[in-house]
Structure 1
């Protein structure tokens, strides 16, 4: 287990979790926000994408009240991403990506609890100076959640992410550790 905050548990991904990922990433409602409805995953694609990869990404499952409900990953920003985002490389900056795959758990405050808990973990345990994300500009619900967690929009990233057949604009948002 990476951390627990009340009913929320974040733990590293295990092979048995591939079935959850395949279920969520073949659901068009989830795919609208994560990966795209034109990019569904089956078990083989989940295994290839999420397992046996040495990329510096820590992949995790989100559990709430003992139920697997979603996925989160975090990673230290590499030199290329730091430059793309306009950072000088002198700070410790982590990026995260996440989704709640069980849609019955949407709009219940769990996303806010998750993001706040991950920020606390990255700042406290990994000594992050900043935590960044790059949500697509149209994903207003997610952006509002992140802003409630202390993230601020810092830079528009034009045509940054390929999603559903086109390049989409994204916001670089960051949480900056208070001094």
Structure 2
């Protein structure tokens, strides 16, 4: 089921047949450097357990460009506990995670197109007041993309994400309509 389309970019809900794509992407050290960790490789079995068996509130999607599956995107409503941790009040706040799994599509503006399209979708269709992300502070390429899309750094989340054997600092960044 298609969620939204913007020009050559299309985002659709994750289907069972996409498990091989996730296993391919999440076993690539280049992708794992910032997403999941190079010490946390996924095979088909792990993909099925993590992405298909969970009963969480994430909407999981595949990103296509020119009809080719190139990445993953998920969004979710931020729960009250996380809102409190981040210092937000009773707003409708969504979080997202995404990656372009086909490295040859990096540095072509597709990430910027994806993030701006996703923000527009969440504001228009989910009535989001804010969209937040928490990239690792060392992920400068992604942070530049997010800032280009209108996200602002709010504050550092110290030792927020366990990644490759140690806790990494992350930026809390937000898009506020």
Please, what TM-score do these two structures have when normalized by structure 1? 0.97
Residue of structure 2 equivalent to 1:119: 119
Structural mapping, 1:63-82, within 5 Å = 63-82=64-83
Structural mapping, 1:159-174, within 5 Å = 159-174=159-174
Gaps of at least 5 residues in structure 1 are none
Structural mapping, 1:9-158, within 5 Å = 9-88=10-89, 90-158=90-158
Q: Deviations over 1:6-43 (max 9, x none)?
A: 00000000000000000000000110011010000000
For 1:102 and 1:33, the matched residues in 2 are separated by: 14
Q: Compute the RMSD of aligned alpha carbons.
A: 0.5
Aligned pair count reads 176
Gaps of at least 5 residues in structure 2 are none
Q: Deviations over 1:115-161 (max 9, x none)?
A: 00000000000000000000000000100000000000001100000
For 1:28 and 1:43, the matched residues in 2 are separated by: 16
Q: Deviations over 1:89-133 (max 9, x none)?
A: x11000000000000100000000000000000000000000000
For 1:129 and 1:79, the matched residues in 2 are separated by: 15
For 1:85 and 1:42, the matched residues in 2 are separated by: 33
Please give the secondary structure, in 2, of the residue aligned with 1:16.
helix
For 2:76 and 2:118, the matched residues in 1 are separated by: 12
Q: CA deviation at 1:52?
A: 2.6
Q: Could you list the structure 1 runs, at least 4 aligned residues long, displaced by more than 6 angstroms after superposition.
A: none
Q: CA deviation at 1:84?
A: 1.4
Q: Deviations over 1:44-90 (max 9, x none)?
A: 000000003221100000000000000000000011111111112x1
